Amino acid sequence: MTPPAVEAIDFFYLSMPRIEDIGDGSQDMLLVRVRAGDHTGWGECEASPLPTIAGLVCPMSHSACKPVAASVLGQRLADPADIARISRDVRANSLDLLQAAHVLSGIEIALWDLLGRRSEVPVHTLLGYPRAYPKTAYASALFGDTPAETEAKAAKVRADGFRAAKFGWGPYGRGDVAADAEQVRAARAGLGPDLHLLVDAGTVWGEDVEAATARLPALEECDVTWLEEPFETGALRAYAELARRCRGVRLAGGEGAHHPHLAQHLVDYGGIGFVQIDTGRIGGIGPAREVAAYAVEAGVTFVNHTFTSPLALSASLQPYAGLAEHVLCEFPVEASPLARAATTTPMVPDADGQVCLPDAPGLGLEVSPDALRPYLRDVEITVDGTTLYRTPDLTT
């Protein structure tokens, strides 16, 4: 029997009615649908929707700057090796299309979902894991505008049964050292002494090691497990120098990596203790699985990164589902109504604060077109009278 080929790639730009200037990536979404034979798979890109749609369909500029669709449509899809081959083709044929990694990520996730559905097994099984271990959810939230607001958020996290929490962005790192210390102390006060506290600086210091170092005493005083993204992803010297200055706090980073090499460099040269990978950015589930294996060998802890929908959460957990000792899991607690509407069933922590992957084929979740349709943006891309893209019909 001839293996099916990829017949269609559909991108859907969804958005909240009003986008706020805050560090909340769940306010819009680029949903991906891939069809091959009688089967459909779904994925999500962690990227700005419009330039990513353009990366799918843009006219060829030269041999290494082709639209991503050209490397995927018509390709054989029989097993995981085909997904890896398609990904290599995209990387080569769209080498100079800088949005290509984002475009590929959502498509690659959808290919795994489709293959799992067709094979009637979860994605983590296709990745070679005999079982999926529960992960300890850490509530991922933004710092409040004031320490009092942060403390109230932290107290709610504790009341909701979480065993760990991360606060980031907002005012942190944008004011003085004393103000940042008060924010961290407020988070610890709300959580109490026994929950893990994580802090995300959101690359706010660029590569300023001294600015980051000035925040370490408060982080150590409050028993913070990690300081996430103090610098831009590629600032390896800054990461390494700050890591040498840290005592009880470890560094975390990697969510900005759009290729496994970038994450591996942070492990090898940046001194990070936690490598955080977003399947919607790095190229999908396969590259994230590659980084997870690398982390195990290097003695670094792998953690997912996600701040959007349950679909993205499931995708982000698959690459390390079978790693029993890598237990922390980012869980967005302030996701938008759009993100929450993406699937017919949510993924939520159990009474012990654990998140378990659905025991169902593919990513284990069903997309909810009816709930998403009110958020759908009408987009058309036309060049010289030829329509390259028009918002598809959002059906299953």
At 195, list the tokens: 């929950």
Residue 298: CA atoms inside 13 Å, Cβ hemisphere, count?
22
Query: Per residue in 252-268, pLDDT tens?
Result: 999 999 999 999 999 99
Q: What is the pLDDT of residue 396?
A: 72
Rounded CA-CA distance 151/113 in Å is: 39
Rounded CA-CA distance 263/250 in Å is: 16
Alpha helix positions (H), the chain: 49-57, 69-72, 80-93, 100-119, 123-126, 147-159, 177-191, 209-213, 216-221, 236-245, 260-269, 279-282, 285-298, 310-317, 337-341, 369-372
Cβ atoms of residues 54 and 99 within 8 Å: yes
Cβ atoms of residues 287 and 259 within 8 Å: yes
Rounded to 10 degrees, the C-alpha dihedral 88/89/93/95 comes to -10
End-to-end CA distance of the chain: give it in Å, rounded: 26
Q: What is the pLDDT of residue 42?
A: 98
Rounded CA-CA distance 295/291 in Å is: 6
- CA distances to 22, 204, 243, 259, 278 from 226, in Å: 22, 16, 11, 23, 18
Architecture of domain 126-355 in this structure: Alpha-Beta Barrel (3.20)
User: What is the widest separation between alpha-carbon atoms in the chain?
Assistant: 67
Q: What is the pLDDT of residue 1?
A: 64
Q: What is the pLDDT of residue 172?
A: 96
Question: Which residue matches tokens 């001194």?
Answer: 271
* pLDDT tens by residue, the chain, 396 residues: 678 999 999 999 999 999 999 888 889 999 999 999 999 999 999 999 999 999 999 999 999 999 999 999 999 999 999 999 999 999 999 999 999 999 999 999 999 999 999 999 999 999 999 999 999 999 999 999 999 999 999 999 999 999 999 999 999 999 999 999 999 999 999 999 999 999 999 999 999 999 999 999 999 999 999 999 999 989 999 999 999 999 999 999 999 999 999 999 999 999 999 999 999 999 999 999 999 999 999 999 999 999 899 999 999 999 999 999 999 999 999 889 999 999 998 899 999 999 999 999 999 999 999 999 999 999 999 999 999 999 999 987
Query: Per residue in 146-162, pLDDT tens?
Result: 999 999 999 999 999 99
What b-and-e string marks burial along 306-326, b requiring 16 or more CB atoms within 10 Å of the CB?
Answer: bbbbbbbbbbbbbbbbbbeeb
> Is 1.10.10.10 the CATH number for 6-123+367-390?
no
Instruction: Return the domain boundaries, the chain.
Output: 6-123+367-390, 126-355
What residues form DSSP beta bridges with 33? 10, 42
Query: Per residue in 71-85, pLDDT tens?
Result: 999 999 999 999 999
pLDDT > 70: what percent of the chain? 100
